């Protein structure tokens, strides 16, 4: 099956700086890559996603890039704010496994005011 690796496991940035989280996947058949934000005591919240026919997608301060050749994708958060502090998960899915998502191990982001 698919194997998704995520780095770093923890990340601290000053408020206003940018944060970058990187993920790699193993199965070239993967074609959908969502990112989730999970706050303490809550379920994962979808913040952005990208499909394999697109190289980059942006939504306000959040952007995701995808490199299919290298099989990696990244989350970029600009102008970070304290409310961005949470655990972020990347995931991948592909047509051979229906709608099953394979998740990374998570990145705990702390934005220091």
Binding residues vs other proteins (CB under 8 A): 4, 6, 31-32, 34, 36, 41-46, 49, 51, 89, 91, 93-95, 97-106
Q: Which is closer to other proteins, CB of 38 or CB of 65? A: 38
Distance CA 24, CA 68 (A): 10
Q: What angle do CA 22, 85, 107 make, to 5 degrees?
A: 30
- Which residue lies nearer to other proteins by CB, 65 or 97? 97
Residue of 88, 82, 85, 113 lying closest to 103 (CA atoms): 88
Residue with Cβ nearer other proteins (18 or 29): 29
């Amino acid at each position: 099956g698919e194997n998704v690796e995520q780095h770093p496991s923890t990340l601290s940035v000053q408020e206003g700086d940018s944060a970058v989280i990187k993920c790699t996947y193993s199965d070239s058949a993967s074609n959908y890559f969502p990112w989730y934000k999970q706050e303490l005591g809550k379920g994962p919240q979808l913040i952005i996603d990208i499909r394999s026919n697109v190289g980059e997608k942006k939504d306000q301060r959040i952007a995701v890039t995808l490199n299919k050749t290298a099989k990696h994708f990244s989350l970029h958060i600009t102008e970070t704010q304290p409310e961005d502090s949470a655990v972020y998960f990347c995931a991948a899915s592909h047509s051979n496994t229906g709608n099953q998502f394979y998740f990374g191990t998570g990145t705990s982001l702390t934005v220091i005011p």
